[in-house]
Copies of this chain bind each other. A is one copy, B any other.
Amino acid sequence: MSKGAVTREAILDTASSLARSVGLGGITIGTLASRAELSKSGLYAHFKSKESLQVQVLEHTRARFVAQVVAPALTAPRGEARIRALFENWLAWDQQPGGCLFVAASSELDDQPGPVRERLVRDQQDWLDSIAEVFRTGVSEGQFSGSPEQFAFELDGVMLSHHMSSRLLADGLSVERARVAFEALLDRARV
């Protein structure tokens, strides 16, 4: 990577971390300049506008999500092992400081039309499709039956409930409850 690309990645890491605690809407060229100790004019040169910055934060976070959650799961055997890996990778992802940015951004942006929301909608749809696709490998291996989209809807619900219980309520039983819910989903899916 060029020096400019390295700087840009480092700034986007800082911005992604800031967004996880204050929300994507809290990420402006100004707040980021003071956090990253960079000049506002330098940040404008990299990111042009607040909206473009927020879209790039989502794209950057999505690349990390794919690398940490989705891609490693795809190396597990098709079907149950792969869906377990996807779930466990997501639990680890949500334990980073501030939790999963996509969960927070979903309620933040659902009433804010524009390019940032459009980017997020595609990301969320791709995530649900990824879960459904991994479920489908279990169907074609003869392990699972049922609707992959219904499974994705319900597994996402388990993750959202865990995010809320562990982060807002600091419920120490949350991970255990999420795993019990996950096993019940698998039991129902098994042929």
For chain A residues 162-183, which have a beta carbon within 8 Å of chain B?
Answer: 162-165, 167-169, 173-174, 177-178, 180-181
- The answer to whether A99 and B110 touch across the interface, beta carbons within 8 angstroms, is yes
A154 at the interface (CB under 8 A from B): yes
- Are B168 and A22 interface neighbours, CB within 8 A? no
Would B168 and A164 count as touching, CB distance under 8 A? Answer: no
Pick from B120, B153, B164: contact of A106, CB under 8 Å = B164
A contact residues vs B (CB 8 Å cutoff): 20-23, 25, 98-99, 103-104, 106-112, 117, 120-121, 124-125, 128, 149-150, 153-154, 156-165, 167-169, 173-174, 177-178, 180-181, 184, 188
Is there an interface contact between B169 and A157, defined as CB atoms closer than 8 Å? no
CB pair B153 A23 closer than 8 Å = no
Query: Contact: B169 with A121, CB < 8 Å?
Result: yes
- Number of identical protomers: 2
Chain A interface main SS type:
helix
**A106-B107, A110-B99 as given contacts; A154 in contact with B168, CB under 8 Å:** no
In Å, the complex CA distance between A164 and B159 comes to 12
Contact of A110 among B128, B160, B162, B168 (CB under 8 A): B168
Interchain residue pairs with CB less than 8 A apart (23): A20-B111, A22-B112, A98-B111, A104-B108, A106-B107, A106-B164, A107-B108, A107-B163, A110-B167, A111-B167, A117-B168, A121-B168, A125-B169, A149-B177, A150-B177, A150-B181, A153-B161, A153-B181, A154-B181, A157-B158, A157-B159, A157-B162, A188-B188
